[in-house]
Amino acid sequence: MSKRLAGRTLGISPFYVMELLRRAKQLETQGKDVIHMEIGEPDFATPETIVEAGIRQLQTGEVKYTPAAGLPELREKIAEFYQQRYSVTVDKKRIFITPGASGAFLLALGASLNPSEELLMADPCYPCNSNFVKLFDGKARTVAVNADSRYQLTAALIERHWHEATKGALIASPSNPTGTIIAPDQLKQAIHTVNALGGCFYSDEIYHGLVYGEKASTALAFSDNVFVINSFSKYFGMTGWRVGWLIVPEEFVDATEKLAQNIFIATATHSQYAAIAAFDPITLAELELRRAEFNKRRDFLYDALLGLGFDIPIKPDGAFYIYANCAKFTDDSFQFAMDLLEAEGVAITPGKDFGLHEANRYVRFAYTTSIARMAIAMQRLERFISRG
């Protein structure tokens, strides 16, 4: 180990699924068919209206820096979107366009988190979230959650785990990997608890829009004193464009602007112009069709996994994941995933990519592939399980 490496890098583990992916590639090179149910990226192409807007911008040839906070038109569109979809008024100067939700996390934590300060977050959760905390030499204090709270932090859990070094709490709803949504009341209480404690509340809303029952609530419905992280990647189908947004409490506007100037200069220009088209009625209609398709996939996969004997205490509300308990089949879900890939060419993500709490008993299935492909995957999975 090099002594020159920054200490923070030691706390950041690579994703375990990468090992699986390497093996999947090898198998595919050997001509084996691999069904990818590990991928956190919609399989749909970016809607044409968005692509065309991006192309139109490129055709001007003027692909110059935008303001650090983003194109004013896009910030305006986002403010309108909150008004229309959530009936929430957001001052557009609190909205920052970022290189994906990743950039939003960088800004939010860069502006608020000091070294050694701690952030509360659920276990399981998306691993990058805790790694952003480590990037700024803070500590991710993960709190084991389970089906009782829909795998979400609660006000009570926040209070119980809050201590002197705690800076705030992060809630992701719909959650990755569990797909569960926090109930509006619970979200409101969690926010008010954090605010009362004088901390910062971070709401990861990147899977908003991809919900199959009740709509997810935005934290902005309950307080202006929150950080909201969102992205055009998932619902809007713009992963590779790398464009997202961050909404900050008023008192963080100046600091966030300074940071954005310094650490990004700006988000990719044509991606921002393309994103404006994401709010066109034609685009939104297309996205709703996709949502319906994801809904069908969720239902298919949920029933299939239950039928095979996986335990799924809550039917996921959104995102495109099912976090399934595989304890009936294994006490080592990583080995289970590796063996399944090896034997049957089905790739899934091991629980330990999402935390420590019962991680060896869980795997994540992503329904970012067609029902036809998933049906084959389920046959293979059944054969794999029945072999024991």
Q: According to CB under 8 A, which residues from 93 to 112 bind a copy of itself?
A: 99-100, 102-103, 106, 109-112
Site residues for a copy of itself, 259-278, by CB under 8 A, read 259, 261-271
Name the E strands within the chain: 35-36, 95-98, 118-123, 139-144, 166-172, 200-204, 227-231, 244-247, 321-325, 346-347, 349-350, 362-366
CB 354 within 8 A of CB 27: no
Q: Minimal distance in Å, beta carbon 223 to a copy of itself?
A: 14
Q: Which of 69, 95, 113, 385 binds a copy of itself (CB under 8 A)?
A: 113
* Residues 17-46 contacting a copy of itself, CB under 8 A: 18, 41, 45-46
How far is Cα 134 from Cα 77, in angstroms, rounded to an integer? 33
- Least spacing, CB of residue 24 vs a copy of itself, in Å: 14
C-beta closer to a copy of itself: residue 106 or 287: 106
Among 149, 223, 239, 370, binds a copy of itself (CB under 8 A): 239
Q: Please identify, using beta-carbon distances, which residue of 277 and 305 lies nearer to a copy of itself.
A: 277
Q: Classify 51 as helix, strand or coil.
A: helix
Give one DSSP letter per residue of 313-361, joined into a string: SS---BTTEEEEE-TTT-S-HHHHHHHHHHHH-EE-EEGGGS-STTGGG
Residue from 12, 221, 308, 375 binding a copy of itself (CB under 8 A): 12
**How many residues make contact with a copy of itself (CB under 8 A)?**
74
Main-chain phi, psi angles of 144, to 5 degrees = -60, 130
Quick one: which segment of 56-64, 149-157, 173-181, 298-306 binds a copy of itself (CB under 8 A)? 56-64
| Amino acid of residue 10 | L
Q: Give the DSSP letter of residue 164.
A: T
Among 252, 320, 336, 384, contact with a copy of itself (rule: CB under 8 A): 252
29, 31, 115, 281: residue in contact with a copy of itself (rule CB under 8 A): 115
DSSP assignment string, 290-323: HHHHHHHHHHHHHHHHHHHT-B-SS---BTTEEE
Q: At what angle do helices 281-308 and 48-59 cross, to 10 degrees?
A: 130
258 binds a copy of itself (CB under 8 A): yes
Residues 129-158 binding a copy of itself (CB under 8 A) are 131-132, 135-137
Does 191 bind a copy of itself (CB under 8 A)? Our answer is no
Contact region for a copy of itself (CB under 8 A) — 142-150, 251-259, 294-302, 304-312? 251-259
User: 266, 288, 327: which is closest to 47 by C-alpha?
Assistant: 288
